[in-house]
């Protein structure tokens, strides 16, 4: 059974960089069949796809966040990471990591982690 678990600080100051890690268990992050994504959800609102990374190293970002987002792999730890720079209160949300099947829909999700941007 594949499991994803987000980790990282729950509180980030404005203008700083938000950093989260997703640890994958029960399957290899290097599998050719899957993309690995970050998705966020502000309280009481809908879902916003942030970006994805493929085992080949191919990366795609949401155009609205592209200038501030970096997603990377650490295959030795079976992890992938998110960095979001210059955060503001508008970046306060529950952040999810998820597995995308062949670059399509998401079949496995982490439980989510709340990140609050506040001084």
Partner 1 sequence: DIQMTQSPSTLSASVGDRVTITCRASQSISTWLAWYQQKPGKAPKLLIYKASSLESGVPSRFSGSGSGTEFTLTISSLQPDDFATYYCQQYDSYSWTFGQGTKVEIK
Based on C-alpha coordinates, what's the Rg of the chain? 13
Q: At a CB cut-off of 8 Å and minimum separation 6, what does 90 contact? A: 42, 117
Interaction between residue 101 and partner 1 (CB under 8 A): yes
Tokens in use for 86? 């210059």
Q: Which of 81, 110, 115, 117 binds partner 1 (CB under 8 A)?
A: 110
CA end-to-end distance (rounded Å), the chain: 39
Residues touching partner 1: how many (CB under 8 A)? 23
- How far is Cα 117 from Cα 32, in angstroms, rounded to an integer? 35
Interaction between residue 60 and partner 1 (CB under 8 A): yes
Nearer to partner 1 among residue 37 and residue 81 (C-beta): 37
Tokens in use for 97? 């990591």
Q: Considering the complex, what minimum distance in angstroms separates the CB of residue 43 from partner 1?
A: 11
The window from 12-20, 25-33, 76-84, 109-117 that contacts partner 1 (CB under 8 A) reads 109-117
- What are the two backbone dihedrals, phi and then psi, of residue 91, each rounded to the nearest 5 degrees? -90, 0
Q: Which of 49, 57, 85, 92 binds partner 1 (CB under 8 A)?
A: 49
Interaction between residue 104 and partner 1 (CB under 8 A): yes
- How far is Cα 30 from Cα 42, in angstroms, rounded to an integer? 30
List residues near partner 1 by CB under 8 A: 37, 46-49, 52, 60, 62-64, 96, 98, 100-101, 103-107, 109-112
């Amino acid at each position: 059974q594949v499991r994803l678990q987000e980790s990282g600080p729950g509180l980030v100051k404005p203008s700083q960089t938000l950093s989260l890690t997703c640890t994958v268990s029960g399957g290899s992050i290097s599998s050719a069949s899957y993309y690995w994504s970050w998705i966020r959800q502000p309280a009481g609102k809908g879902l916003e796809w942030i970006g994805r990374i493929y085992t080949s190293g191919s990366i795609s970002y949401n155009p609205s966040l592209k200038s501030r987002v970096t997603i990377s792999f650490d295959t030795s730890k079976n992890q992938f990471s998110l960095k979001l720079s210059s955060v503001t209160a508008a970046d306060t949300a529950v952040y999810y990591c998820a597995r995308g099947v062949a670059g399509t829909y998401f079949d496995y999700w982490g439980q989510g982690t709340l990140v609050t941007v506040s001084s």
